[in-house]
Amino acid sequence: MSTASAAEPARGPLQPAKKLADRIGDPLLKWLCALAAFIGVAVILWIAYTVFDKASPAISKFGLGFIGTTSWNPQTLKFGAGDWIFGTIVSALVALLIAAPTSVAIALYLTELAPRALRRPVAILVELLAAIPSVILGLWGIIVLGPFLNNHLEPALHSVLGWIPLFGGSPSPYGMLNAALILTIMAVPIISAITREVFETTPVDLKEGAYALGATRWEMVKMVILPYARPGVVGAVMLGLGRALGEAIAVTQVIGNLGEIKASLFAPAGTLAAQIANEYQGATSSLQIASLVYLAAILLVISLLVNIAARMIVRRVTVQRA
């Protein structure tokens, strides 16, 4: 016993022991984790490759002209993405036109106005909006929002602003406006959460400086917070745009899924994502399936560009200020 302790005089329980577990453990965990990370990065490349690969019959048949073609006819096998790209852009832009100012206003309320005890609970409630499954929002859009638009909001808008083509045309429960409002509900929690975080990074000194000069609260917001947070807000709005561009289920439930380009927001339309979802059981010919995958490829490229730009902006802002 005394010889044993003499042989290992100072070995505490935490001293590095040349045990097998240690020799294997370190590299094993490291490579296991690296493999997982590799999978994470590879999936995104694999998605891009597969989508373009499976779209290739349609890509070789229609070429880039597919993007501008406004026809989707399974009988004549003539397919194009024009109607859906138009619907995607218009529905997302209308949604952002409503969601962006609303979200900034919410973020201002939550950082500057709300009583301290209310801030966290209200912020959580707004973020819970993002937790509602899109298929449920779509159901609500069909049965609650649609009839409300058809019977109340759209006739009212039409009678006041009917001379603008956007509000011309007859009211309809399914259409661009319904889709845009549902997308607004989806975008607001995303935009307001990030905007709030950016607002919170505004240096207190600057805010107090503005107050000391006699600024009102709104003047302080206008002169200090908004200029300071502008890049972050832009990034947040673009992330909301990414969400709105890519939503398939709720949009296909409420937009009417018609390949038509109309000036009126009340009219039925379609988007890239919604059209793919809409034809999930109806696609029969292989060319039609390849064309649907082509739509997915276009959607993937658009949303990747928007998301990459948004992430770079948001990251630059948060890294600079961290």
Partner 1 sequence: MEAAGVSNPLTRSGPGHGRRKATNKVMEVVATVATVIAVAVLAIVIVSVFIKGVGAINIDFLTHVPAPFGQTGGGIADAIVGSLILVAISSVIAIPIGILIAIYTNEFAPPRISSIVRFALDILNGVPTIVTGIFVFGIIVVGHIDIFGIIKLGGAQSGWAGGIGLAIVMLPIVARSAQEVLLLVPRALHEAALALGLRRWRIVTRIVVPTAIGGMITGAVLGVARVAGETAPLLFTSSIFSELGITTNPSQALPNIPVKIFELSESPAPSDHQAAWAAALLLILFVLALNIVARTFHERSRRRIRA
Residues 238-257 contacting partner 1, CB under 8 A: 239, 242, 245-249, 253
Considering only 90, 179, 183, 188, the residue that binds partner 1 (CB under 8 A) is: 188
Q: How far is the CB of 148 from partner 1 (least distance, A)?
A: 10
Q: How far is the CB of 162 from partner 1 (least distance, A)?
A: 25
Cβ(106)–Cβ(188) below 8 Å: yes
CB-nearer residue toward partner 1: 61 or 311: 311
Q: Does the protein bind partner 1 through residue 126 (CB under 8 A)?
A: yes
Cβ(175)–Cβ(268) below 8 Å: yes
Q: Does the protein bind partner 1 through residue 192 (CB under 8 A)?
A: yes
C-alpha Rg value of the chain to the nearest Å: 27
Q: Does the protein bind partner 1 through residue 308 (CB under 8 A)?
A: yes
Q: Which range binds partner 1 by CB under 8 A, 170-178, 225-233, 237-245, 260-268?
A: 237-245
Q: How far is the CB of 183 from partner 1 (least distance, A)?
A: 13
Q: Does the protein bind partner 1 through residue 140 (CB under 8 A)?
A: yes
Q: Does the protein bind partner 1 through residue 78 (CB under 8 A)?
A: no
Q: How far is the CB of 113 from partner 1 (least distance, A)?
A: 6
Q: Does the protein bind partner 1 through residue 285 (CB under 8 A)?
A: no
Q: Does the protein bind partner 1 through residue 164 (CB under 8 A)?
A: no
Contact partners, residue 66, CB within 8 Å, separation at least 6: 58, 59, 79, 80, 81, 291, 294
Q: How far is the CB of 237 from partner 1 (least distance, A)?
A: 14
Look at the block and give the residue holding tokens 């990030």: 194
Q: Does the protein bind partner 1 through residue 93 (CB under 8 A)?
A: no
CB-nearer residue toward partner 1: 7 or 41: 41
Q: Does the protein bind partner 1 through residue 102 (CB under 8 A)?
A: yes
Count interface residues toward partner 1 (CB under 8 A): 93
17-56 residues near partner 1, rule: CB under 8 A: 22, 25-26, 28-30, 32-37, 39-41, 43-44, 46-47, 50-51, 53-54
- Could you give the count of Cα atoms lying within 13 Å of 287 in the half-sphere of its Cβ? 13
Q: Which range binds partner 1 by CB under 8 A, 1-9, 57-65, 70-78, 273-281?
A: 273-281
Q: Does the protein bind partner 1 through residue 269 (CB under 8 A)?
A: no
Cβ(186)–Cβ(134) below 8 Å: yes
In terms of DSSP bridges, do strands 72-73 and 78-79 run parallel, antiparallel, or are they unpaired? Answer: antiparallel
Q: Does the protein bind partner 1 through residue 143 (CB under 8 A)?
A: yes
Q: How far is the CB of 242 from partner 1 (least distance, A)?
A: 5
